[in-house]
Amino acid sequence: MYAARAIRYEVRGRAILDGVDLRLTPGKIVAVVGPNGAGKSTLLKIMAGERRATGGNVLLDDRDLTEWKPADLARRRAVLPQSIEVVFPFLVSEVVALGSSQRVPRSEAAALVSRALSAVDLADFGRRVYGTLSGGEQQRVQFARVLVQAWSGEGAYLLLDEPNASLDLSHQLLILRLARTHAESGGGVLMVLHDLNLAAMVADELIALKDGCRIAAGPPEHVITDQLIAALYGVHASVRGVPDGPFILPQTARLPA
Amino acid sequence: MSATITIAAMQPLPVRRGGLVIAAAAVFLVAALLASLAIGPVYIAPGRVVGTLIDALAGARPSEGTGMRDAVVVLDIRLPRTVLAMLVGGGLAVAGAVLQGVFRNPLADPGLVGVSPGAALAAVLWIIFGSAAAGYLPGSVAAFGLPLAAFAGGLVTTVLLYRIATREGRTSVAMLLFAGIALGAMAAAGTGLAVFVASDQQLREFTFWTLGSLGGASWQKIAAAAPFILLLIVGSRWLARGLDALALGEAEAFHVGVNTELLKRVAIVLVAAGVGASVAVSGVIGFIGLVVPHLLRLSAGPSHARLLVGCALLGGALLIASDIVARTIVSPAELPLGVVTAILGTPYFLYLVQRNRAVLGG
Report CB contact under 8 Å: A73, B257.
yes
Looking at chain A, which residue has its C-alpha nearest residue B102?
Answer: A87
Residue B302 has its nearest CB partner, among A70, A78, A88, at A88
pLDDT digit string, tens, across residues B116-139: 999 999 998 988 887 677 667 666
Residue B259 has its nearest CB partner, among A70, A89, A102, at A70
* Contacts with A153 from chain B: Cβ below 8 Å: none
Of the residues A67, A82, A85, the best mutation for testing chain B's interface (the one with the most B CB atoms within 10 Å of its CB) is: A85
- What pLDDT does residue B362 have? 47
Residue B248 has its nearest CB partner, among A48, A89, A98, at A98
Residue A131 has its nearest CB partner, among B11, B105, B258, at B11
Looking at chain B, which residue has its C-alpha nearest residue A146?
Answer: B256
pLDDT digit string, tens, across residues B61-112: 888 888 889 999 999 999 999 999 999 999 999 999 999 999 888 888 998 8
Å between B279 CA and nearest CA of chain A: 28
CATH superfamily for B83-360 is ABC transporter involved in vitamin B12 uptake, BtuC (1.10.3470.10)
Å between B274 CA and nearest CA of chain A: 24
The 3-class secondary structure across chain B, one letter per residue, is CHHHHHHHHHCCCCCCCHHHHHHHHHHHHHHHHHHHHHCCCCCCCHHHHHHHHHHHHCCCCCCCHHHHHHHHHHHHHHHHHHHHHHHHHHHHHHHHHHHHHHHCCCCCCCCCCCHHHHHHHHHHHHHHHHHHHHCCCCHHHHHCHHHHHHHHHHHHHHHHHHHHHEECCEECHHHHHHHHHHHHHHHHHHHHHHHHHCCHHHCCCHHHHHHCCCCCCCHHHHHHHHHHHHHHHHHHHHHHHHHHHHCCCHHHHHHCCCCHHHHHHHHHHHHHHHHHHHHHHHCCCCCHHHHHHHHHHHHHCCCHHHHHHHHHHHHHHHHHHHHHHHHHCCCCCCCCHHHHHHHHHHHHHHHHHHHCHHHHCC
pLDDT digit string, tens, across residues B270-329: 999 999 999 999 999 999 999 999 999 988 999 999 999 999 999 999 999 999 999 999
Could you report the average pLDDT of every consecutive run of 10 residues in chain A (257 residues)? Answer: 95 93 96 95 96 95 95 95 88 95 84 96 94 94 97 92 92 96 96 93 95 94 90 87 80 72
Report CB contact under 8 Å: B249, A85.
yes
Q: Give me the residue spans of the domains in chain B.
A: 83-360
pLDDT digit string, tens, across residues A126-174: 999 999 999 999 999 999 999 999 999 888 999 999 998 889 999 999 9
Report CB contact under 8 Å: B303, A78.
no
- CATH architecture type of domain A2-252: 3-Layer(aba) Sandwich (3.40)
Q: Give me the residue spans of the domains in chain A.
A: 2-252
Å between B192 CA and nearest CA of chain A: 37
Report CB contact under 8 Å: B254, A50.
yes
pLDDT tier at B1 (50, 70, 90 boundaries)? Answer: very low
pLDDT tier at B48 (50, 70, 90 boundaries)? Answer: very high
| Global ipTM | 0.94
